Each structure stands twice: as C-alpha cells, then as structure tokens.
Structure 1
Amino acid sequence: MTDCVALASPGQETDWLSDPVHRAYLRQDAARQFSFFDASCRPAGGFWTLDHEGQPLRDEPQELHTTTRLVHSYALGKQAGLVSSDAIIDQGMAYLWSHHRDAAHGGYVWALHGKDDIADARKLAYGHVFVLLAGASALEAGHPDAQRLIDDVRAIIDRHFWEEDAGLLCDEFNRDWTPFSSYRGMNANMHGVEALLAAFEATGDEQFLTRAGRILDFFVGKMAPAHDWRLPEHYTADWKVDPGYAGNPMFRPAGTTPGHSFELGRLLLQYWDLAGRPDGDMTLSARRLIERALSDSWDEVRGGFAYTLTFDGSVDNPNRYWWPVTEAIGAVATLLKLDPQPVDYAWYARLWRFADAHLIDHARGGWYPELAADDSLAMTQFKGKPDIYHSVQAALFPLVPGVSRMSSGLATLAD
C-alpha cells in the first residue's frame, strides 16, 4: 500500500484532491508513465507499441489513435512540467503529416506497418477526431505545426464526417471516400466532443463548442434518459438504436459500455463550464450518467468494472480493463470539484485503492490494461501497455482546479 491510499479509511469523507500527499502521488505516477513511454519513439519515425517491460512489439501496426494520443498526452505533460523534451510531440506531429495523412485522397489512414506500408487504409471518424485533439493540445503547448494540422483535419471532418441535419458524426469510409458501411456510433461522437472542446479551448472558435453541444444533446439529452441513463452505442444510418449490433470487441462491443458513460458525463460538465454554466439540468444529467455506470458495473467482489452490460444493466462482458477505472477517476474527480457528495469521496478513494493495488506498475511505470478473474495480469484483448492516454489523464485531471481548460490549468501548476 502506497502513501496515496493511507489517507483515510474506506468510506471516510476526505478531500484527497487537496491533500498534498495524494497530489504528490499523482504527479509521481504521471512522471513514471512519461518515463516508461519515452521508449515509444521508433528510430525510422513514428512509434512502437510497448510490452509490459517497455520493449517494442515490432510486429504491431501503428494505429492513428496511438500516434495522436501520444502527441496529446505528451503535450499535457509538457504543460504540467513533467516532460522535459519535445521529442515525442515532434515525432508524432511529423508522422501524422508525412505518413498517416493521405496526400492522394486527403484525410488520415488508420494503420501503418513500419515506415511506409499501409496496413489499414480506412478513413474513420474516430481516428480523425483524435487528429483534431492532437492538434489542439499541440497548439496549447506551442507546437509550430499545430494550426496546420487543425486546419487540415477540420476541413476533412466538415467535408466527410459531419452530418449537419443530425448534428452528429458519421463513422467510416474507404480510403478514396467511397462508402464503407452505414454504421453510426456513439464512440466516435463521444471522442468528437472531447476533440471539439479541446479545439475550442485552444482556438476560441465557437463552431467547435456549438457542435460539441449538438452531439451531447443527442446522446445525453435524448438517448440517455430514454434508456434509464444507459447509453446505446450503436445506430443505423438514420440514427435509430441498433440493439443487436456486435462489431469489433474493443471499439464496438455489443450492449452498452459503462466506461463511456464516465467519459461522456465528464465531457458534459466540461461543455457546461465552457458554455458559461447555463441554467438547466446538465450537471444533474452528468451525475445520473456517472452514478448509473458506477452502480451497474462495479464488481463488488473483485473490484474493477465489467466492460459491457446488456440494456437492462446486467453484466454482459465481465472482463476488467484499466481504462474504465481511469475514466471513472476523471468523472468522480470532476463531481468533487463542483458539488462534492459523501458518495463521491468514497468512490474516489475506492477507485485509487483498486488502481494502486492491481493496475499500476510501480516498478516500471504505466498501467496494466487487463486483469484475469484471479487478479493476475491477462492478455486476451491487449498486447503490452497499449497507450498512455487514459492512465495519464487519470493522474492529471484531479490536479487541475477547474473542470475545463485542462491544458492551461496544468501550465499554472508547472509555474
């Protein structure tokens, strides 16, 4: 048991967010993560995926979300004063422009093998919104090529992915922008909100904020209350719920994904703050989303969250991954900053105790992505430590005083 979990007994009301011992723990964990993922740089350009020990998994393709998330995460680390070199940011920004970016057809291809071979040429909204997120975070961190990237990917999103009538993002195309499928999904739109809010914070352009609000209105204003505050993931081309859909087991699993409720609840509070904290029920809706996911999916025996649920809230896939825990930490920390309730203090402590005991690699840095039923490490869905994005944000979100403008908030901590 480390110092972070010695502050209070379970259930005791203690403000960990302001406790200097816990805050030092958060910075230490974030610094360890950056130290571990420094080994991601591939000498020929781009990044390696790393195994548990930090060695390259040389046969793994480089996917667009990995490239962009490293740029985003290291830009946050630079703002926080936890990253001393721009090497990851520079290499990622260069690789996005020279390799992921499709000079022939426009847009950004999903996956590459090595320096030049395209492993998956699809154009996915999910990947393109992460390009926007990387550009926004790099702009906040002062990167000279950030605005060029934002302008390029914004034009692609406008032309191909944004559906103005629906106020939502469609999902996928072939490399040449011919139709790939009629699938519509929440995941790309949720991360679209994340990227749009970051782009608004970095540029001040109101269109980004307006579009984020339209996406949130559909999923939180309409879908969540109609489904007992559980979020349907999958939709038909006309944005009707597709309850029988089962696609990629990681990115598009069947049923509902409570980890996404944590993310969308936090993003709703970020939007509400950036929009001037308007009157209404946004804060209550965010709490309902977050609390429903906490109560539905927490494993009372083993700890951690079941990955997916059926539409009535029963467990579908009981596998326990790291990222729902990290997203729950960010969501609960945001609730604690706005309107702390005794249950929030208890959840925040419970989540960090579980992460500290089972997920965090205290020796090498980074978080293990998956646990077996006996709490040993599992590798059924993931190879190695797939990225820094979720886990480092769990350490950084609680450190900033506000619920929005994380990048600039981290910069004040580094002063």
Structure 2
Amino acid sequence: MSGQQLPGWLGQPTHRAWLDEHCRDLLAFGQLFPAEGGGAAWLDEVGEPDPSHGVQTWITARMAHVYSLGHLLGVPGAGALADEALAGLWDAEDGADGEAPLRDSVNGGWFSKVDSGGTPAEGKACYDHAFVILASSTATAAGRPGAAALFDEALSVYEQRFWDEAAGMPVDTWDTAFTTLDDYRGINGAMHSVEACLAASDVLADVYDDDDDERAALWRARALGILAKVADWSSANSWRVPEHFDSSWSVQLEYNADKKADPFKPYGATIGHGLEWSRLLLHGDATARAAGEVPPADFVGAAKALFAQAVADGWHVDGRPGFVYTTDWSGKPVVRDRMHWVPAEATAAAAALAIATGAPTYAAQYALWWDHIADVVLDHEEGSWHHQLDERNLPSGTVWPGKADLYHAVGATLVPRLPLAPSQATAVRQGLLRG
C-alpha cells in the first residue's frame, strides 16, 4: 500500500504513538536481564532474573535483538544492554579467541544453555543458531562492538552445520560435538531460519561496506525456498502447518501425541505458527519483489489462507476470547491454554495483511486482538505480558512460567509501523519507521 493511507488504527498517528510508548515500556521492564558473565537471564513475573533456568541461547539472542532494536530506535541505555546479552555469545574484544559462556570454543556453535553453575547442556539446535544470526545481524545494523564478527561466525556455523543444500531446508539437532545428527526435522527451527535469513540478507546488502549483494541474494533465496515448501505442505494439509518431519522430510502428523503441550514440539497444529508463517510469507513476497524477483509461489494467497485457517481454528473457539495453543488435524482444540506470543503474532499478521492488501477486515481484526491483549494479556500491575493464560484467561505457568523475554511483544509493536521489507533492523536503520 505504498503511498496510501492504511486502514483503521494502522493509519492513526495516535495508535502508532501508543505502540512506540508500549515498546519503550517493554524495554524498561526487561532491563534487569543481564546475567553475570554475559548473556540474558530468564525473567520472572516482575522482571527479576530467575537463575533456575540458567542462561539460554535463544533467550540471550532474543534480548540482544530487541535491545539492539532499542538502540536503533534511540532508547537511551538500550545499546549497552544489547552488549550485555551479546557478551554471552561472543567476546567483543578477543573475538574467536575469546571466551563467552554460551559459545562452544572447542566444537564451534552455541550451547542451548548453561546452568547456574556454568555447565553447558548437551546438543546443538537449529532454533538457537537461527536466533544467533538474527541477534548478530540486528546488532551489526546497530553498530554494536564485535557484532559483525559474531554475525560472520553465526552465518558460517549455520551454513556448515545446519543448512542442507540438497533438501533446501535446515536440519534440526546435532550432538554437542557436531558428530551425530538427529533424524528429526522441524518447522519451528525452519520458521526462525526464514526470519534469520531475511535479516541476514538485508544486513549483508545494506550495512557491509562492499554491499555484499551476492551473499545477500544467497540468504534471500534460502528464505524464499523454505517459504515455498511450507506453503506447499500447508496447502496439502488443509492450510494447517505440519510441524514435524523425519530425515527425508516426510510429514509425521502424530509426533508427540503423548506430549501435547511440549513448549517447542507440541502435537498437532500450532495456531501461532499458522499466523507467524502467514506474516513471514508476506515479508518474503515483499523482499523478493523489492529485489526485482518473482516469488517462487503465490505467497500472498498462501498467507491469506494460513491466516484464515488459524483464526477459524484458534480464536474464541471454546466460549471465551483468546487463541488456543494447539488443535488436532481436524481443527479441534487440544491444548486450550493461551500463550502470549500467539496474539502478538495475530496482530502482526493482521497488520501485515492490511499493509499488503489494504483490506479493512484485517485492520478490524488487528484492533480486536489488541483490545484482547489490553484486557487480559498485558500485566497492568507488574509490566510486560502474561506469558501464559489458562482457558479461563487467568495467568498460568505450566508451559511458560514467568516472563522470559520480550521478543514477540516488541515485534508486535514494530510490525504495524514498518514496511514488509526490508526486515526490522534494516528498516529502522534506514528511517522507515512510521510515526
């Protein structure tokens, strides 16, 4: 909708001002995250570090990402906080020769976590490494010390260990030494790989002195290829995203039927992922067209279909407002608890569809879900968002105790104010934020 007024709240400067204020409130809530020795602690209900969760790579990378965005947004102190998170992933002074608690200096890559005693967990995951790419690309765009070297290292590790060129998809999980690859393949790591690849492509083209267009095109192509495959798999599955696969990328619909509420690999269709893939397809479409390319599939049509199915299956389906966490493959709710990241992604996807199409229906849904967030998801007493609600919309902590990080909530304040391409850090760096 370039040059046109966006519908509903999306076109109102007063709403954009509210989003800006809320983003800054979120960054203020999370400012106690720095862990001793570097990295980000898991935050509890009041924003205090909870050492029982150790220091985790995905939380650390997410906080490095959002506080680097905060620095780009001109929030005083955000850059220094981003550096505290980055110190868990990389030694800004000594680089590859330095020590960072989450980095495996022997085998390469990043541990998923270190416990309170500094002992690393076993294994290496695509999910974590995708977030390291995202964090380092955002920090590079923000000019943080050591970020460019971390970015180069993150791209190299991902390319060598997680990218399967023959499949055009990422593998999921290695052992710590990168000697044994698990047969499992998953959509969650692939989804965040898309975000990471798009962000990396934009930073390579925009920030690097030599405007590394060839490498930028390579990472862009990887993201677009993943998106095309997921659109195809979802189309064949009634627009419910298949989550789990084997090593040959054959769908495993009954995976984790005995662990239905798993926080990373739940059984069935994950409503929030249908919404998140919808938005990513729109970013992919806009990115391809901005580069003068034709997307490899009808990304906009797929985004509309995924969004419509996720909303039909997930929103207000059990007598109360809110999005259920998961459904079976017929659309029947399985886990009825509400996770905060799902309405965050719902508002972001609705905003992206309104930006892409100009349709007022999406803007109306956007406003409806922000009203829902303000009603029961925002914690008006302690700050940030309740990360989990039960089916009665009361705070719960069975899957996500505390308020671990700010990634989804901050994203929900930025997507409505940014173009669909380039990605967030590059767009903010280029002055494309609306309002």
* TM-score with structure 1 setting the length: 0.92
Change beyond 3 A, Cα 1:94–1:188: same
Worse-superposed segment, 280-289 or 76-85: 76-85
By how many angstroms is 1:165 displaced? 1.0
Asked if 1:265 is matched to 2:282, the reply is no
2:300 is equivalent to residue 283 of structure 1: yes
Deviations 1:342-376 (A, max 9, x none): 32122111110000011112343211111123322
Counterparts of 2:376 and 2:301, CA distance in 1: 32
Picking from 225, 239, 263, the partner of 2:235 is 225
- Output the amino acid matched with 1:242: Q
Give the match for residue 329 of structure 1.
347
**Equivalent AA in structure 1 for residue 172 of structure 2:** D
Gaps spanning 5+ residues in structure 2: where? Answer: 1-5, 91-99, 206-215
Partner of 2:105: 103
- Residue in structure 2 matched with residue 24 of structure 1 by the alignment: 17
- Residue in structure 2 matched with residue 394 of structure 1 by the alignment: 412
Tell me how far apart the structure 2 counterparts of residues 186 and 260 of structure 1 sit (CA, whole Å).
9
| Letter matched to residue 44 of structure 2 | D
Q: What SS class does the counterpart of residue 87 from structure 2 fall into? A: helix
Check 1:172–1:253 CA distance in 2 against 1; reply closer, same or farther (3 A cut): same
User: What residue number does 1:53 align with?
Assistant: 46
Q: Which residue of 2 aligns with 1:169?
A: 170
Report which stretch shifted further, 333-342 or 405-414.
Answer: 405-414
Contact 1:29 / 1:365 at 8 angstroms: preserved in 2? no
Superposed counterparts of 1:64-103, under 5 Å: 64-97=57-90, 98-103=100-105
Tell me how many residue pairs correspond in the alignment: 401
Q: Does 1:214 align with 2:238?
A: no
Match of 1:3?
A: none
CA distance in structure 2 between the partners assigned to 1:321 and 1:264 by the alignment: 17
Letter aligned with residue 79 of structure 1 = L
**Amino acid of the structure 1 residue aligned with 2:52:** D
Moved more, 146-155 or 270-279: 270-279
Structure 2 Cα separation of the partners of residues 183 and 75 of structure 1: 33
Q: Which one of 340, 343, 357 corresponds to residue 339 of structure 1? A: 357
Contact 1:32 1:364 (C-alpha < 8 Å) held by counterparts: no
Looking at structure 2, the residues matched to 199 and 83 of structure 1 have their Cα atoms a distance apart, in angstroms, of 25
239, 245, 256: which one aligns with 2:249: 239
| 1:294 partnered with 2:311 | yes
**What is the SS of the residue equivalent to 1:95?**
coil
Once residues 331 and 389 of structure 1 are traced to their aligned partners in structure 2, the CA distance between those partners, rounded to angstroms, is: 15
Cα deviation 1:5-64 (Å, max 9, x = unaligned): xxxxxxxx9610121221121111111100010011124432222211122212221111
Deviation at 1:312, TM superposition (A): 1.4
The answer to whether 1:371 aligns with 2:385 is: no
SS of 1:59's equivalent in the other structure is: helix
SS in 2 for 1:316: strand
Aligned to 2:405, the other structure's residue is in SS state: coil
Q: Output the amino acid matched with 2:390.
A: A
Q: Which moved more, 1:80-89 or 1:36-45?
A: 80-89
Instruction: Please tell me whether the aligned partners of residues 10 and 363 of structure 2 are also in contact (alpha carbons under 8 angstroms).
Output: no
1:5 matched to which residue of 2?
Answer: none
Q: 1:163 to 1:85 in 2, by over 3 A?
A: closer
Q: Residue 53 of structure 2 contacts residue 115 of structure 2 at CA under 8 Å; is this kept in 1? A: yes
Q: Sequence identity of aligned pairs in percent?
A: 32
SS at match of 1:117: coil
Find the aligned partners of 1:66 and 1:373 in 2 and give their Cα distance.
Answer: 26
SS where residue 22 of structure 2 aligns? helix
Structure 1 alignment gaps of length 5 or more: 1-12
Contact preservation (8 Å) 1:309, 1:317: yes
| Contact 1:45 1:115 (8 Å CA) reproduced | no
Using the TM superposition, name which of 203-212 and 280-289 deviates more. Answer: 280-289
Which amino acid counterpart does residue 100 of structure 1 have in structure 2? L
Call closer, same or farther: CA 1:77–1:158 in 2, change over 3 Å: same
Higher relative contact order (CA 8 A, sep 6+): 1
* 1:403 Cα deviation after fit: 4.5
Native 8 Å contact 2:7 2:363 kept in 1: yes
RMSD of equivalent CA atoms: 1.9
> Counterparts of 1:15 and 1:310 in 2: how far apart (Å)?
34
Provide Cα deviations, 1:96-147, integer angstroms capped at 9, x if missing partner. 02121111111111011236321x1311011111111111111111123122
Other-structure match for 2:212? none
Q: Corresponding residue for 1:137?
A: 138
Conserved 8 A contact 1:26-1:396: yes
Q: Which amino acid aligns with 2:298?
A: D
**Bigger shift: 404-413 or 313-322?**
404-413
| 1:381 Cα offset (Å) | 1.0
8 A contact 1:327–1:390 mirrored in 2:
yes
Letter in 2 for 1:282: F
Alignment deviations for residues 286-319 of structure 1 (CA, whole Å, 9 cap, x no partner): 1111111111111243111111111111111111
User: For the residues of structure 2 that align with 1:132 and 1:153, how far apart are their CA atoms?
Assistant: 5
**CA shift for structure 1 position 255:** 0.6
Corresponding letter in the other structure for 1:335: L
- Give the match's secondary structure for 2:18: helix
Question: What one-letter code is carried by the residue in structure 1 that aligns with 2:320?
Answer: R
User: Runs of 4 or more off by more than 6 Å in structure 1?
Assistant: none
- The reply to whether residue 34 of structure 1 matches residue 27 of structure 2 is yes
* 1:405 counterpart (399, 411, 423): 423
